[in-house]
Structure 1
Amino acid sequence: MLSHFFVPLGTKSRAAVLGATCLTLGFVLAPYFRQANKTGVFKRSPKSTLLNGLSERELAALPYPPGVLPGGRDVSTPYGSIRVYEWGPEDGEKVLFLHGISTPVISLGDLAHELSGKGYRVMLFDLFGRGYSDAPSDLTYDARLYVTQILLVLASSPISWSKFHLVGYSLGGCLAVSFARYYPHLLESLTSIAGGGLIRPHHVGWQSKLLYNAGILPEWAVRYLVRRRIRPSAAPPRAAGGTDIMAAESKMQPGNGDASGGNGFDSASISRYRPGVKVSSVVAWQIDHHEGFINAFLSTIRNAPIYSPQQDWAALSSILRERRQAKDSLLPQGLEGGKILLILGKDDPVVVPSETIDDAEKALGKDGVQAVILPAGHELPITLSIEVANCIDSFAVKRH
């Protein structure tokens, strides 16, 4: 009998054989698992996971309806689909907008309408992991990813965007500086609205340091806590300079918010054309329906150039100085005025005007900065879109 040729194994021997077998199988099957993982390199946006099957009435009732802005298109890229909106006269000067960390592009819709009404060609898009743009799941959400996304969006236009004005809000402000560092020749002007990049470290609370520094807590716990922390809830407003910077844009309990620019931001209507829809409802909608939103938010907080000091600002300083000092015949292309525009909210609890202006002048020189302070909080491009548009237009006209 065959059993005569085999010696029974003890418990330890069987365990050793089983372990060796599993190890061998691991080496053999690893390439197949790696290949399988490559097929899911981005999380789909609500465009793919939510909209199918909804009626026209249900679509219109969403906090962020897919057709809320004109000229919409979905751009297919190796990083996933990007939602882009573009409209306005084709022969007008062009303006590209970059939105904030938690609110999708709908937050800048009114501002874009104001500028298109002044004759500008405007283009907006949802950053990766927000709104109707997919979320790469195998990449770090740093300046390199977002600058690449800007280039993909520019390439998607049916008309040339070889020169344009760049406007960044909140997170978009520091991303605009990162882009300008490498592509100044493409820019007519740069405007940062309540922008990050120079936020002082003392605004980072101990809870946020504990939560967002990688390696302190297990990632599954971090994601669970982040989901709870950035979901909007009511709380009293805080004074300027009193908000944890992780409350960058939904108002939480004091010191615990991560997606808020203050009570005024959370309660602001996302658009004067949709007064019943608040910023907080749009943020909550993303939390509930965008599979990649939490990871995009978390990775951006950890890796984007939000805090001071930043090398991008030092590099931009040299670029602006070169333009201010060059003779007309030798003037480099782009940012010809040699300065950028800062538009700040007087009551902004996140991007404090006095600190931001002081740090910007130290980084870029007093001649490299033009600052305007408006009577609002972090929500100023949403609630004061007319005034902000007038500031951008005036700066664009007088930049020379």
Structure 2
Amino acid sequence: MARLWGSTPTPPPSRLPSLPSLPTLPSLPSLPSLPPGIQSRILEHKWYIAGGAATLGTIALLNSLRTPNKPKPIPSVQECLLPNMAPEDLMGLPYPPNALPGARDVDTPYGIMRVYEWGPEKGDRVLLIHGISTPSPALAGVADKLVKKGCRVMLFDLFGRGYSATPDPKATNYDSALYTTQILLCLQSSILPWSSYIILGYSLGGAVAADFASYFPHHVKGLVLVAPGGLMRKEHIPTSSKILYSTSGLVPQWLLHKLVARRLYNGPEVARTMDSDAVSIRGDDESDQRSMRSVSSAVSASLLTPSSSTSRTASDIVDWQIANHPGFVKAFVSTIRYAPTHEQQDRWKIIGQNMRDRYNMPEKERVGLKEVWLVLGEIDPIIIADEIVEDAKDVLGRRFVKVKILDGVGHDVPMVRPDEVARVVLKILGHKK
């Protein structure tokens, strides 16, 4: 009981040998003592005080460990725009909600994702991935040609584009991890099995497709990279773009988004129709001439399937997204900063090694890629044909790289020459014509 009331018991005699006395330290100034009445009350309730202090300490610790609330996804166009539109006005949009067949909206932890899937259920599977600024309609022509040849196709709007929501870039980088996850979410959303398929990726989609294939080699039986990023050389990026898209904070976010929107909307046609601002075009006379020659076709090429009643171009859709998609510019900026678009030799080398390993297996056990196709525009000012061919052969192995260069075409390869792009896929599948 003596301990409960603050009395100090007599300590037992020490059995340890005595230690030499330490030198006397200078005394510290004493703190003012509490009045006797307050001292006795504190001693009387010291266990309650100690318990309260421990509780407060635990609460403070838990608060410090608690994961902060993750920002919610930025709503998609269909959530913030379409509910306020009359049904008869929807078809007049540059990108109508029913622009492509087999549309479905998939609920994901990152927000709603728009997916399209159509074609014969037993047909060969082809997954198509669009570029940085123009959503699924950019590949509608290629998809339509493949379906007519008996393929089952799947397309989806990348997060922050078209009818897909935007994971808040403050909490989520638009990097390899996000895009790999989105592809897996897309494939798993189908009621049909997608265990073996060809991936066709265009521009940014080509970089994402190659990156994905390096992680899942046994599922990808064909890889068609159309004017792809991935091995782009950073030496072509001008200082102005490096500063603009830097993560150093030199340019405030609000100003950055305003400048990027202006570059995409009011800038030169090449920036809007070439489906890339991620790389810049080389500042020499030759590339300027090639840029201008490659613009006219993109401006006039309709991106929607022939069955559509409207004719819309890449420029129309990009401008519409800037004006109406609240997450488009933010996703665009984060993609340029973090997506696997430049100097990805290490990931591409894995693809090459996987193809070499495949040839060392017994023929009956061989699965996955046996070659990679590059489909390039002769006058593309963004993906320089000679450079990408040289770099791809270096990392993949010369025997594994097949190349098709389309004369007189710029970066807008699948929009202006969908027939020839589709033929490459059909060649992989064994079609003779």
TM-score, normalised to structure 2's length?
0.76
1:143 and 2:176 aligned: yes
Shift of 1:263: 5.4
Which of 226, 251, 264 matches 1:217?
Answer: 251
Q: What is residue 69 of structure 1 aligned with on the other side?
A: 100
Shift of 1:327: 3.0
Q: What is residue 232 of structure 2 aligned with on the other side?
A: 199
Where 1:114 maps in the other structure, the secondary structure is helix
Identity of aligned residues (%): 41
Shift of 1:329: 4.3
Where 1:269 maps in the other structure, the secondary structure is coil
Q: In structure 2, how many angstroms separate the alpha carbons of the residues matched to 1:195 and 1:245?
A: 12
1:227 and 2:271 aligned: no
Instruction: Check whether the contact 2:345–2:395 (CA below 8 A) recurs between aligned residues.
Output: no
Q: In structure 1, how many angstroms separate the alpha carbons of the residues matched to 2:136 and 2:385?
A: 24
Aligned length: 353
Distance 1:263 1:108, change over 3 A: same
Where 1:270 maps in the other structure, the secondary structure is coil
Where 2:222 maps in the other structure, the secondary structure is strand
1:284 and 2:316 aligned: no
Corresponding letter in the other structure for 1:101: I
Q: What is residue 52 of structure 1 aligned with on the other side?
A: 83
Where 1:228 maps in the other structure, the secondary structure is helix
Corresponding letter in the other structure for 2:350: A
TM-superposition CA deviations, 1:84-114 (whole Å, max 9, x none): 0000011111001110000001111111010
Q: What is residue 142 of structure 2 aligned with on the other side?
A: 111
Q: What is residue 27 of structure 2 aligned with on the other side?
A: none
Q: In structure 2, how many angstroms separate the alpha carbons of the residues matched to 1:348 and 1:177?
A: 20
Q: What is residue 197 of structure 2 aligned with on the other side?
A: 164
Q: In structure 1, how many angstroms separate the alpha carbons of the residues matched to 2:304 and 2:280?
A: 21
TM-superposition CA deviations, 1:9-59 (whole Å, max 9, x none): xxxxxxxxxxxxxxxxxx99x97xx99953x42101111011113223310
Q: What is residue 372 of structure 1 aligned with on the other side?
A: 404
Distance 1:55 1:201, change over 3 A: same
Where 2:403 maps in the other structure, the secondary structure is strand
Q: What is residue 310 of structure 1 aligned with on the other side?
A: 345
- Spell out the pairing of 1:35-46 with structure 2 (5 A cutoff): 37-38=69-70, 40-46=71-77
- Spell out the pairing of 1:57-136 with structure 2 (5 A cutoff): 57-136=88-167
1:326 and 2:326 aligned: no
Q: In structure 1, how many angstroms separate the alpha carbons of the residues matched to 2:197 and 2:344?
A: 27
Bigger shift: residues 48-57 or 77-86: 48-57
Distance 1:279 1:236, change over 3 A: closer
Where 2:316 maps in the other structure, the secondary structure is helix
Shift of 1:236: 7.8
1:341 and 2:373 aligned: yes
Instruction: Check whether the contact 1:267–1:280 (CA below 8 A) recurs between aligned residues.
Output: no
Shift of 1:244: 7.2
Instruction: Check whether the contact 1:236–1:263 (CA below 8 A) recurs between aligned residues.
Output: no
Instruction: Check whether the contact 1:232–1:280 (CA below 8 A) recurs between aligned residues.
Output: no
TM-superposition CA deviations, 1:67-87 (whole Å, max 9, x none): 011110000011100000000
Corresponding letter in the other structure for 2:239: W
Q: In structure 2, how many angstroms separate the alpha carbons of the residues matched to 1:247 and 1:63?
A: 26
Which of 333, 336, 342 matches 1:298?
Answer: 333
Q: In structure 2, how many angstroms separate the alpha carbons of the residues matched to 1:278 and 1:187?
A: 31
1:190 and 2:223 aligned: yes
Instruction: Check whether the contact 1:235–1:263 (CA below 8 A) recurs between aligned residues.
Output: no
Instruction: Check whether the contact 1:313–1:363 (CA below 8 A) recurs between aligned residues.
Output: yes
Where 2:342 maps in the other structure, the secondary structure is coil
Corresponding letter in the other structure for 1:51: L
Q: In structure 2, how many angstroms separate the alpha carbons of the residues matched to 1:289 and 1:190?
A: 33
1:246 and 2:297 aligned: no
Q: In structure 2, how many angstroms separate the alpha carbons of the residues matched to 1:84 and 1:74?
A: 6
Q: What is residue 49 of structure 2 aligned with on the other side?
A: none
Structure 1: gaps of 5 or more residues: 1-26, 249-253, 256-260
Instruction: Check whether the contact 2:237–2:280 (CA below 8 A) recurs between aligned residues.
Output: no
Shift of 1:219: 2.2
Where 1:61 maps in the other structure, the secondary structure is coil
- Spell out the pairing of 1:377-388 with structure 2 (5 A cutoff): 377-388=410-421
Structure 2: gaps of 5 or more residues: 1-58, 282-286, 289-293
Shift of 1:347: 1.2
- Spell out the pairing of 1:250-269 with structure 2 (5 A cutoff): 262=295, 264-269=297-302
Q: In structure 1, how many angstroms separate the alpha carbons of the residues matched to 2:378 and 2:428?
A: 20
Distance 1:142 1:95, change over 3 A: same
Q: In structure 2, how many angstroms separate the alpha carbons of the residues matched to 1:37 and 1:283?
A: 32
Where 2:429 maps in the other structure, the secondary structure is helix
1:361 and 2:393 aligned: yes
TM-superposition CA deviations, 1:280-333 (whole Å, max 9, x none): 1100111111111111100110111111243211111111111233331443x3
Where 1:85 maps in the other structure, the secondary structure is strand
Distance 1:244 1:68, change over 3 A: closer
CA RMSD across the alignment: 2.7
